[in-house]
Structures are given as C-alpha cells and as structure tokens.
Chains A and B, each alone.
Chain A
Amino acid sequence: MQPAYAKIAADPRFTELVAKRNRFAILLSVIVLIGFTAFMYLGVGAPDVFAAHVGSETAWTWGLVAGVAILAFAFIMTGIYTVRANGEFDKLTKTIVQEATK
C-alpha cells in the first residue's frame, strides 16, 4: 500500500468518518424504503383509503396526495444527504487526505 493510503488507514478520524457516513446513509435508506413500502401498501393493501377524498369539499384523494408526497419526499431525502455529505463529511475527508498526502 502506498504511504498516503497507509496513513489514512491508520487515522482514527477516517474510521470515524466512514462509520458516521455509513450510519447516516443507512438511516436515510431505511426511511426511504419505509416511505415507499407504506405508499405501496396504502395502494395495494387499502385501496378504499387510497381512493378516499381528503376532505368533503375536495376532489383530491389520499392516494394522489401520497403520490405527490412520495415524489417530493424522494427529492428532499437526496437534498438532506447531499447537504450533509458535501459539507460536514467532505470537510473531514479533505482534512484527512491533506494531512496524509503532505
């Protein structure tokens, strides 16, 4: 292994970075999968609720609201990850790499 890689491998902050980022990525993945499964379940498991109107005055149904919500939700989740990874995680990565390649 090249010296810079060996240095990073031995750096406790690298282990911490990987653990933190993995925890975050797995947490978000689980949330996304739960959201998607809930949406599918609402449609396939409870079609009557899915087709029910949100209020007596509106044509919007729970299914349509949930559909728009799940699309928006996917976008928001990518935003949350991107902000934290491009900020906090990348700052730490940069420090680790810079010190190792000095």
Chain B
Amino acid sequence: MKRLSLLLSSAFAAAFVATNALATETINGPVEKQPINITAIIMFFVFVAGTLALTYWAARRTRSTSDFYTAGGGITGFQNGVAIAGDYMSAASFLGISGMVFGTGLDGLFYAAGFTIGWPLILFMIAERLRNLGRFTFSDITSYRLEQTRIRSLSAFGALSVVLFYLVAQMVGAGKLIQLLFGLDYAYAVLLVGVLMMLYVTFGGMLATTWVQITKAILLLAGCTVMVLLSLYHFGFDPGALIQSAVDHHPRGVEMLKPSKALSDPLNAISLGLALMCGAAGLPHILMRFFTVPDAVAARKSVFYATGFIAYFYILTITIGLAAVTIIGMDPSYFDAAGKLLGGGNMAAVHLAKAVGGNAFLGFISAVAFATILAVVSGLALAGASAVSHDLYANVIMKGKATGAQEMRVSRIATFAIGIIGIILGLAFENQNIAFMVGLAFGVAASVNFPVLFLSIFWKNLTTRGAFIGGFLGLVSAITFVVLGPTVWVALLHHEKPIFPYEQYALFSMTIAFVSIWFFSITDKSARAAQDKAGYAEQFIRSETGLGAAAASDH
C-alpha cells in the first residue's frame, strides 16, 4: 500500500517538474498548514534584517539611472556569476529535482543536464555581445538599429509578460511554501514577499537586488553542501554506499537508475530542451545581469563561474534526493497514514534537513528556501520596472527626452505598481493551478524575446516589420498553444482531449516566430527596411569589439 502511494506521489512529482519547465517555486493544490516553526522564522528574520541593512547601504549608492538599472556596471565577473547562478538555483530546482530523484529516480539527472548545458551555448553565442550592445535592458539591443517605437514596445511587452507570469507563479509558490515551512498564513506570506521585494528594488535598485541574490546563493550552496556531508556521514562518507542503498530502498528499485516513460517521447524532449535553452536566453531578469558588469571580459567570466556553481548545485541536489531515499524513505514518521510523504513529493529535501541536522538545520534550510523566492522576485520586479521606465516611458513616450530624475521616479512608481499587482494576483490565484504560468513565461521568452534578440544581433537583413510581425506571431502562438494544450485545456478547463497535443510547444512557436520574422523581413522593401539594414555594419563592429560600449556604462 505504501509502495503504491509512493509510486503515485512520484508520478505526481514527475508530472510536476515536467510541467514546470524550469522547476518553479510553485507548489500546486491545497497544502496543509504546519505548526509554527520558531527556529525557521527567527532565521528568516535574521536574513531579512541583513538584506534590509544591505538595501540601506545600496540606497546610498544608488543615484543615477545607471546605478538603479545596472549597479553602475560595477559588479565583478565573479559576483555576477554567483548572482546568475542564484537566479537559476530556484527553490523548486532545489525542492523539485531532489523530490524527483526521491520519487522517480534519475530523471532528475536529465533535467539537471538540460538546465546546465544551455550556459556554455549562451557564453559562446551571446554573452559578450549582450554586454557590448546593451545598456539597461535587452530592448536596447533589439532596437539598436530598428525603429525605436515599435520594437521597444514589442520587447517591453515581451519582458513584462514574462515578468508577470513568472511573478504570479512565484507569489503563489511563496505563499504555499511558507504555509508549509513556517506555519504562517498564506495571505501574510504573499504580503511579506511583495513588500520586501518593493523595498529592496525601490530603494536599493540593482545593487541591492544583486547582493540579495548573492547572499542567498551562498547560503543555499552552503546549506546544501552541509546537508550532503551530513547525509554522507550516514554512509561512512562512501558515495557508492549511498547510491547502493538508494537503489535498494527506492520504490522503483533498479528501475530508478533509468529514465522514466515521461522522458521517452523525443519530440517532447527536444521541445523542452529548446524551451529551456532559448527561454533562459530570453528571460529579462537573466539578460539584465549581463549589463551589470563593466566589459566583455567580465561578462564571459560571469558565465564561467555561474556554470560552475550551477553544475555543483545540481550534483548536490541529486545527492540529496538519493540520500533521502534511504534516510527519509525508510522512516515512517515522515509519511502520513495513507503512506504519502508529509507536505507532498517536493518536501524530501526539507525532511532530510530535519533528519540529518535536527530542528535548527530544518529552520535554516526553510529560511533559505524562502530567501530564494525573495531574491528571484526582486530580480523580476526590477526587470519589469526597467521595461516600463526605460523602454516605455523614457524611449517610447518621451522619445529619449526624459531626464534621469524623471526616469528614476517612473521606475520606482513602476516597481511599486508591480509589487501591488503581484500581491493582488498572488492572493487571487491562491487556489488555482498556476503551473502553466511558468510554462507560459518560458514560452514567451523563447518565442518572442529570444528570436528577435538573436536575429537582431546576427542577421543583417532583419527589418523592423519582420521583427515586429514575427515577434507578435510568436507571442500569439505561444499563448494559443498553452491554452489549447494539455496544461490548460485538459488540466485546468477539464476538457477530455487537448486541441494542441504537445505539452512542450516551444519547438512549434519558435519555428513560427523565426520563419515569420524571416519572411516579413525579406519581403520588406520599405525605406525603413533599408535604414535597418544599413545600421547593421556599425552595430556589428560594436557587438564584436565593444567599441562605444564602455562609454555607455559610465553614464
């Protein structure tokens, strides 16, 4: 009986991580409120006090727009590498992947490899070019030689959609997670996350956002390292013994060493891989990190360090999942009467913290998991605020004539507005299944932001018309495929069969975007098109050499 329900919960865990392309902080369905965990709350408030002090320090150094958007371009390659890794090491990468290994087996390894392998490609293809061409937002690059009004509006809209979808998923996930870990009310949790996010970003700008992310990344890596060491102690520090014991005690037995059926459809797998790789290169809060370093040298170093930390993090996470199979799986006190893991399939790592380190360590890991959400939403809010103030206000509405002070004011108002919207939607969606929103965020990033950005850097014959129509079609198709696909049409609207059969749709929406950008560019014979193409030569030299980029960061 216990085996059967374990299998069921592992199927749930697999489905959960699969729908949430980049393992979100989302915990779906109703959760049980836990007894209040005092240690966890104290540790969390220590973190909050520390980050607020940090924000105060950062606020005194945040004066110009360049300080606000990019920390004045003064973040080092190493610091930025840690921050990028932090943006990637989300609470649910941590909880989701370890839970997947615990429940299903080595499927988690394929996700880990997929998340990591995009980074070398981002480095080889776009990292230094982003730094050389961009200033505050990725729309600076897409509209470098194309018409400002249309292309900035499109890119800002793409950025804001990604931010909003992702933010709602994070808010709901935060509320659920806090109910589970701290025993606090959902509404308090959402309010707390929203208010802290507004404080960090409004006062401390990019400098505070980056350091909050760095602090959290270090805490998370340190916490995971300690958890792995404490777990290895149970196996006489022999990883082989840990693996053997996991196989012996796993509900799937030796089958856990193989990929499960969920991964066997090649079209779904390719499509998921594309969404992960190209989506990451279209997420505005990740892209803006490349503008915080002084030059291309530091941009490359950032990716190098980030890849190292991300790879290390996944090795830890998978080990945690394997250790939990024995240590948690064999202890009936972590299961309810029906044989279900307390708190759901994603709680394996949290239970393991308690099992190997006691209540204090459980408190620490819970606080770190919450801090993780806080750091990610702050980055999102800043990316959204930049899209409003720098792209829409300063460049589209004011046509570049806004003063720095005006732009800063708008960015702060925008941050505040995004915080309020996040809180309201977070409260409104409490009992909804919002897993599809993360899929949507990645889909829009991969099908709108990425194609326009990629082709504006590499393709001379891209025109304003092509980018605008193609980007728009990418947006429409991504949203349509999500709504008509298994995640919304079947899971949310309870229809029997999806109209669009694939859960992973990026392959299709990206093809539509790329093909239509190409088609509407090559058939564009307007005067604007000639101007767009003529601008490429200069952009190309700046993109390859960085000439002209240094001046921009000294603003």
- Chain A residues with CB under 8 Å of chain B are 1-2, 4-5, 8-9, 14, 17-18, 21, 25-26, 28-29, 32-33, 35-36, 39-40, 43-44, 47-48, 50-51, 58-61, 63-64, 67-68, 70-72, 74-75, 77-79, 81-82, 85-86, 90, 93, 96-97, 100-101
User: What are the residues of chain A within 8 A of B240 when measuring CB–CB?
Assistant: 58-60
Contact B247 A67 (CB under 8 A): no
- Cα A21 to Cα B300 in complex, Å, equals 14
B49 within 8 A of partner (CB): no
- Cα A71 to Cα B315 in complex, Å, equals 8
- Cα A43 to Cα B266 in complex, Å, equals 12
- Cα A97 to Cα B351 in complex, Å, equals 57
User: What are the residues of chain A within 8 A of B254 when measuring CB–CB?
Assistant: 51
**B125: which of A29, A51, A85, A100 is its contact (CB, 8 Å)?**
A29
Contact B544 A63 (CB under 8 A): no
**A36: which of B106, B113, B257, B545 is its contact (CB, 8 Å)?**
B113
- The residue in chain A whose Cβ has the minimal distance to the Cβ of B318 is A67
B231 within 8 A of partner (CB): no
Which of chain B's residues 493-547 have a Cβ closer than 8 Å to chain A?
537-538, 541-542, 544-547
Q: How far is the CB of A74 from chain B (nearest CB, A)?
A: 5
B74 within 8 A of partner (CB): no
B429 within 8 A of partner (CB): no
Chain B interface size range: 35 or more
* One of B114-122, B183-191, B412-420 at the interface: B114-122
- Cα A47 to Cα B109 in complex, Å, equals 13
Contact B117 A90 (CB under 8 A): no
- Cα A61 to Cα B109 in complex, Å, equals 13
B56 within 8 A of partner (CB): no
Contact B258 A32 (CB under 8 A): no
- The residue in chain B whose Cβ has the minimal distance to the Cβ of A24 is B124
Contact A36 B546 (CB under 8 A): no
Which of chain B's residues 279-314 have a Cβ closer than 8 Å to chain A?
296-297, 300-301, 303-304, 307-308, 311, 314
User: What are the residues of chain B within 8 A of A68 when measuring CB–CB?
Assistant: 315
- Cα A43 to Cα B396 in complex, Å, equals 49
Contact B119 A29 (CB under 8 A): no
Known A43-B258, A60-B243, A75-B311; judge A67-B537 contact (CB<8 A). no
**A86: which of B297, B537, B542 is its contact (CB, 8 Å)?**
B297
**B308: which of A21, A40, A75 is its contact (CB, 8 Å)?**
A75
- Cα A9 to Cα B534 in complex, Å, equals 14
**A5: which of B266, B296, B541 is its contact (CB, 8 Å)?**
B541
Known A8-B547, A43-B258; judge A82-B266 contact (CB<8 A). no
Q: How far is the CB of B433 from chain A (nearest CB, A)?
A: 28
User: What are the residues of chain A within 8 A of B124 when measuring CB–CB?
Assistant: 25-26, 28-29, 32, 81
User: What are the residues of chain A within 8 A of B112 when measuring CB–CB?
Assistant: 67, 71
User: What are the residues of chain B within 8 A of A8 when measuring CB–CB?
Assistant: 541, 545, 547
**B547: which of A5, A25, A43, A81 is its contact (CB, 8 Å)?**
A5
- Cα A67 to Cα B311 in complex, Å, equals 10
Q: How far is the CB of B132 from chain A (nearest CB, A)?
A: 10
The 12 sampled A-B contact pairs (Cβ below 8 Å) are A5-B542, A8-B545, A14-B545, A18-B544, A25-B125, A36-B113, A64-B243, A78-B120, A78-B308, A82-B304, A93-B546, A96-B545
Which of chain B's residues 102-160 have a Cβ closer than 8 Å to chain A?
106, 109-110, 112-114, 116-117, 119-121, 123-125, 128
Contact A9 B537 (CB under 8 A): yes
User: What are the residues of chain B within 8 A of A35 when measuring CB–CB?
Assistant: 117
Contact A64 B106 (CB under 8 A): yes
Contact B263 A43 (CB under 8 A): yes
Known A44-B263, A70-B113, A77-B120; judge A82-B311 contact (CB<8 A). no
- Cα A43 to Cα B105 in complex, Å, equals 12
User: What are the residues of chain B within 8 A of A2 when measuring CB–CB?
Assistant: 538
Not counting A75-B307, A78-B123, A86-B301, a sample of 16 additional A-B residue pairs whose C-beta atoms are within 8 angstroms of each other reads A5-B541, A25-B125, A32-B117, A32-B120, A40-B269, A44-B263, A44-B266, A47-B258, A51-B254, A51-B255, A59-B247, A60-B243, A71-B314, A72-B311, A79-B304, A93-B546
Q: How far is the CB of B302 from chain A (nearest CB, A)?
A: 10
- Cα A52 to Cα B545 in complex, Å, equals 49
B264 within 8 A of partner (CB): yes
User: What are the residues of chain B within 8 A of A25 when measuring CB–CB?
Assistant: 124-125
Which of chain B's residues 232-283 have a Cβ closer than 8 Å to chain A?
239-241, 243-244, 247, 254-255, 257-259, 263-264, 266, 269
**A74: which of B119, B258, B259, B318 is its contact (CB, 8 Å)?**
B119
Q: How far is the CB of B262 from chain A (nearest CB, A)?
A: 11
Known A32-B117, A68-B315, A74-B116; judge A14-B258 contact (CB<8 A). no
User: What are the residues of chain B within 8 A of A71 when measuring CB–CB?
Assistant: 112-113, 116, 311, 314-315
- Cα A30 to Cα B464 in complex, Å, equals 31
Known A40-B110, A59-B241; judge A78-B119 contact (CB<8 A). yes
User: What are the residues of chain B within 8 A of A47 when measuring CB–CB?
Assistant: 258-259
- Cα A41 to Cα B256 in complex, Å, equals 17
**B257: which of A21, A63, A90, A97 is its contact (CB, 8 Å)?**
A63
- Cα A81 to Cα B122 in complex, Å, equals 12
Contact B547 A82 (CB under 8 A): no
- Cα A47 to Cα B124 in complex, Å, equals 31
Of listed B109, B239, B296, residue having the most chain A CB within 10 A? B109
Q: How far is the CB of A65 from chain B (nearest CB, A)?
A: 11
- Cα A33 to Cα B117 in complex, Å, equals 8
- Cα A68 to Cα B113 in complex, Å, equals 9
- Cα A8 to Cα B266 in complex, Å, equals 46
- Cα A89 to Cα B359 in complex, Å, equals 52
